[in-house]
Amino acid sequence: MSHKKQVFALAALSLASMTAFAQASSVSLYGIMDAAIRFETNWGANKDTLKTVAPGGMSQSRLGINVTEDMGDGWRALVNMEHRLFSDNGNVASGDFWRQAWVGLITPVGRITLGRQYNVMFDLTTSTYAAYRYSPYNEQFKPELAMNIGNRQSNMVKYAITQGGFTGELQVSAGEGAGDKTMGGMVRYQVGGFAIGASYLNSKDVAGKQAKGRAIGGSYSAGPLYANVSYATNDFDNGFSAALSGAYSTAMVSATTSPAVLMAPVNAQVPTFLFASLKNRKMVSAGLTYYVTPQFNLGAQFYKVKQANYATPVGTDATLFSVVADYALSKRTDVYAGMDRVSFDAAGVVTYVGGAKSRTGYQTGVRHRF
C-alpha cells in the first residue's frame, strides 16, 4: 500500500472512530417555565392580602443540561447541571446558580454520582409518595419537603442500585467546613401500582450538633386514581445551627419570598416556630389525585404537623392542606388553579405578624415543559 493510501486509511479510521464516539454520546437541554397569579391572606399588621406573580406556581422554573455517554458493557457516564430561576423577574432562584451539578457512572453493579445533588430522603419522597402524580409537588405549598433535611447537599457521593422492584441508595456529604455533613440511605419496593419505602439521614453542623430525619410512606395507583400516605420526623440537638435549621424549614411555607428573606421571620411573615430552637418535628401526610379525564385531574393533600422547641415549653400544632385542578392543553403545556391553607393550633402561642393564626393562598397559572 502506498504512503498516500496509508494516510488516507488512517484518516478514515480516525473519522469512523470519532463518529462512533459521537453517536454514543448525547447532550440534551430541558426545562420548565411556570408562572402564576397568587393571593395570600393575613400579611402584615393590617392582615392585608398579598398579590404577586409567583415565580413558579406548581413547579419551580428551571433550565438544565443532561449529558450521557454509552461506553459499552453496561457502563455509562452521566452529567447533570440544573439552574433554577424566578420566572417573574429572571433572577437566580437561590444563592447557588446550579441547584444540581454532578457527574457519575452507571456500572453493572450500580450507579455512583458525585457533586451537588438531591439527597436520599428527597429521592424517596419523589419516587414513592409525592403529593401530586402529575407535578409531583405544588411549588408554592410543599411542606413535605421541609422534612427532608434540605432536599439536596453539596460535596456528596451517592450510590444507588435497583434489582427488580427493590431500589437502595446510600449517601455521604463532606460538609467541608460549612456544616451539612450528612450520612444516610433509603430503600423502596415497587410492584405494579403499589410502592413503599423508608429513609434516614443524619446531618452535622460545624460544631458537631446533629439533625436526624426519618420517613416512611407509600402510594397506590389504579387507573385514574392515585393515593399516598407518609409519616416523617426530624430531631435536632439543642444548639443545632440556626442557618441550617432555617434552610431545612423553608419549604414549610409558601415560596413567594426568597430563602434569604425567610431567615427574617418578622419581615417575611414566617412564624419563628418553623426553625427557631427546633427540638423535633413530626408530620403525617395523605392525599388523592383523580384523573376525571385524560386531560383534567383533581388533587388534594393534607398535612398535620406537631413541633416542639427548646426555647418554649408550649408545643405547636399546625394543620395544612392544598387542593389543585390541572388541565393539560397539550403534552407539554398545562393550566392550573389551586388553594392552600395553614392553620395553627388555637391554644398555641404561634401567630403570623398581626396576630393571625391562619393563612390562605389562591393561585392560577400556566406551565410549559420542554
C-alpha cell at 99: 441547584
Establish if 103 belongs to a structural domain: no
pLDDT at 20 over 80: no
What integer pLDDT is reported at residue 259 of this predicted model?
Answer: 36
Establish if 270 belongs to a structural domain: yes
User: Rounded to an integer, what distance in angstroms lies between the CA atom of residue 10 and that of residue 118?
Assistant: 45
| pLDDT tens column, 272-301 | 556 678 899 999 999 999 999 999 999 999
User: Rounded to an integer, what distance in angstroms lies between the CA atom of residue 305 and that of residue 33?
Assistant: 31
What integer pLDDT is reported at residue 270 of this predicted model?
Answer: 55
C-alpha cell at 48: 392585608
Give 95 or 331, the one with higher predicted confidence.
331
DSSP calls for 261-301: HHT-HHHHT--GGGTTTEEEEEEEEEEEEEESSSSEEEEEE
Establish if 24 belongs to a structural domain: no
Mean pLDDT over all residues of the chain? 87
Q: Which residues pair with 195 in a beta bridge?
A: 190, 219
Mean pLDDT of 296-307: 95
DSSP calls for 300-369: EEEEEEEEEESS-SS-EEEEEEEEEEEEESSSSEEEEEEEEEEEE-TTSS---TTS-SEEEEEEEEEEEE
Establish if 191 belongs to a structural domain: yes
- pLDDT over 90 percentage in the chain: 65
User: Rounded to an integer, what distance in angstroms lies between the CA atom of residue 256 and that of residue 258?
Assistant: 7
For the domain that residue 176 is a member of, what is the CATH number? 2.40.160.10
What integer pLDDT is reported at residue 172 of this predicted model?
Answer: 98
C-alpha cell at 345: 393550633
Alpha carbon 361 to its chain centroid, in Å, reads: 20
pLDDT at 341 over 80: yes
Establish if 65 belongs to a structural domain: no
CB 289 within 8 A of CB 132: yes
Other residues' Cβ atoms within 10 Å of the Cβ of residue 368: 16
pTM of the complete model: 0.88
| pLDDT tens column, 60-100 | 999 999 999 999 999 999 999 999 998 988 888 777 789 99
Establish if 8 belongs to a structural domain: no
Amino acid making up residue 259: P
Establish if 88 belongs to a structural domain: no
C-alpha cell at 14: 480516525
Domain count of the fold of the chain? 1
Establish if 339 belongs to a structural domain: yes
pLDDT at 45 over 60: yes
| pLDDT tens column, 144-191 | 999 999 999 999 999 999 999 999 999 999 988 788 999 999 999 999
| pLDDT tens column, 223-258 | 999 999 999 999 999 999 988 988 888 787 654 543
Domain that holds residue 279: 33-59+115-369
User: Rounded to an integer, what distance in angstroms lies between the CA atom of residue 168 and that of residue 120?
Assistant: 9
What integer pLDDT is reported at residue 274 of this predicted model?
Answer: 64
Q: Which of 349, 348, 351, 358 is nearest to 319 (CA)?
A: 358
CB 61 within 8 A of CB 86: yes
CA angle 85, 87, 89 (to 5 degrees): 95
